[in-house]
Structure 1
């Protein structure tokens, strides 16, 4: 006999996970819409983590639901509701902030101009069949696939709320071709030239890009994870950093730290010695400025969390239109992975460093994971 379902408005057993510093409390709760969701919060002690989690659950249960969606609802209105739901998923660590940015961009640049004023019941298979080839022709096959995912998500949301009985996107053929361009890694000479270019650019220095770039290459973390790092997550004596958060922007709330999108995203990373030295210097500066341990290692100009989107824009401005015009924040992650691969580290070790769940089923079964890899730190000594 299975366990009885959670009563509406209640939560299940609270579980705890030991972090490098503190604890993470996790539980499932059932909202007033009947949906069971996972939620987690962290704190310096079990008691504080539990208190933060209970407060978050109480806040979620107070969130009112919107009005009903019907077949006569405008596609634009349903898309706004769907996007708000996706924002909550990002805040809960279920969806990557980059994915949300792509969805929003696709809606604004392509989808809403085609379907925004139609009623959802008017978004038919023939209309969809005419739309996706246009996106492919104007942009690319990859854009057309993203458009298909976005439109399908909005219509699936309408089905879930009873506005439609079936999702017409299911009748649309998959969009083939246009393989995704892979990120390129910086060569040793390019790494030196890139850092030299940043150091000579007063605006890049003012936006703290040289040290941020060094940290990204020293760890291979995502830019949102780097900007979410607090000093309390750094152990300079052990030479490690605990990666347990990412920065996202939530509508109506601003920037906040939230769980990574998977448990594999929570990891303890050993640092190369040059990166430890860099962080020691930054910590001395932070102490001189009376910044608390629960403050960002890479803050904005006011000492608070830094916006990943604005930071990516700053990197684009700093790279210029020639030479490094191809460089994005993901290039530094690719660079770290390439250095570790060339050093002969296993795919499992590299996946653990990057926070990937599973490089393959075979490697999951036959290789251990989760340990702090000093081999990765040794390999990354050669970044600079």
Structure 2
């Protein structure tokens, strides 16, 4: 009967339990420069989905068939996006294992790709925006808890809700000829359950951006500033206790508010406001969507990400009629010159 060998704390071999490999890789993730939310999500994948399934196997017992079956189970039971993240974690773990000689190589690279189907982007129409804004500004609870002002701000900037929750009045310049806001952080929940401001947006330091504000939003923000404590370090959208507001709670409050005003047949999440901004700014003067660069700069994303995730397709081409003139026959190009 073979007896499993328990390696020393620092040793990783083919006989090492995957549980230990998980802990080793998790420690490296914690020391990395990954965003706090990414670290939290990886930890959830490791603890909730991988450790229970393969933690008691040794590294040597984990074949490509074993790992692929594990990912298929996660995909079926939880969903493809979670399985895809699990595969990312496994790849990191097996890179570490191969570095220590516990595996002949990163066998995760041999596994089948996990394809997650992109859902169509859905944005609010102009009529829906007007209905939502007008309705929220007649709802006493939405006015009292700041949801009306929050939705206005999201529609005026395309910011993520976590970025809005992180804003303090020092980030605004509302009294200049060209009023702006600086989006430079986001509220996240860390492992122990508390809320902190991550010092950069979701996309990393390059996602920081200063945005010009439309006049109607400036008027709303000045009115809000006049009603609230507004020292430079005071939060613009605080919780009822004046502390950092949980984006999850704000989402729930927004959904309840939209239910109250009867807006129930459209997406009710704040991210739809971001998609609405992306869709609106991508539209060019001819009704096409060639201004992706404008939308991307506003949202702090690349053009590829913006086109894929934040622009609702209109299926309408640009006005390029003059470029088709080259296909015309001579008599078609100058019909007025024809004679009887």
What's the TM-score once normalised by structure 1's chain length? 0.63
2:293 maps to which residue? 348
1:247 maps to which residue? 187
| CA apart distance, 1:181 | 0.9
Q: Is 1:173–2:112 an aligned residue pair?
A: yes
Distance across 2 between alignment mates of 1:150 and 1:245: 26
3-state SS of 2:120 partner:
coil
Relative to 1, partners in 2 of residues 1:167 and 1:278: Cα closer, same or farther, differing over 3 Å? same
Relative to 1, partners in 2 of residues 1:196 and 1:172: Cα closer, same or farther, differing over 3 Å? same
| CA apart distance, 1:300 | 1.9
Rg larger for: 2
Q: Is 1:130–2:33 an aligned residue pair?
A: no
Q: Is 1:233–2:174 an aligned residue pair?
A: no
Aligned residues: 286
Residue segments in structure 1 that go unaligned for 5+ positions in a row: 1-66, 361-384
Relative to 1, partners in 2 of residues 1:179 and 1:230: Cα closer, same or farther, differing over 3 Å? same
Q: List 4+ stretches of structure 1 deviating above 6 A.
A: none
Pick which of 216-225 and 324-333 moved more.
324-333
Residue segments in structure 2 that go unaligned for 5+ positions in a row: 1-8, 306-340
- Of the three residues 94, 97, 102, the one matched with 1:155 is 94
- Contact 1:87-1:251 at 8 Å conserved across structures: no
RMSD: 3.4
3-state SS of 2:124 partner:
coil
1:1-384 equivalences in 2 (<5 Å): 68=10, 70-71=12-13, 74-76=17-19, 78-79=21-22, 82-83=25-26, 86=29, 94-95=34-35, 97=37, 99-100=38-39, 102-107=41-46, 110-159=49-98, 164=103, 166-176=105-115, 178-195=116-133, 198-199=136-137, 204-238=142-176, 239-251=179-191, 254-260=195-201, 261-286=203-228, 289=229, 291-318=230-257, 323-324=264-265, 326-344=267-285, 346-359=291-304
Relative to 1, partners in 2 of residues 1:325 and 1:187: Cα closer, same or farther, differing over 3 Å? closer
- Contact 1:142-1:179 at 8 Å conserved across structures: no
Relative to 1, partners in 2 of residues 1:281 and 1:102: Cα closer, same or farther, differing over 3 Å? same
- Contact 2:195-2:246 at 8 Å conserved across structures: no
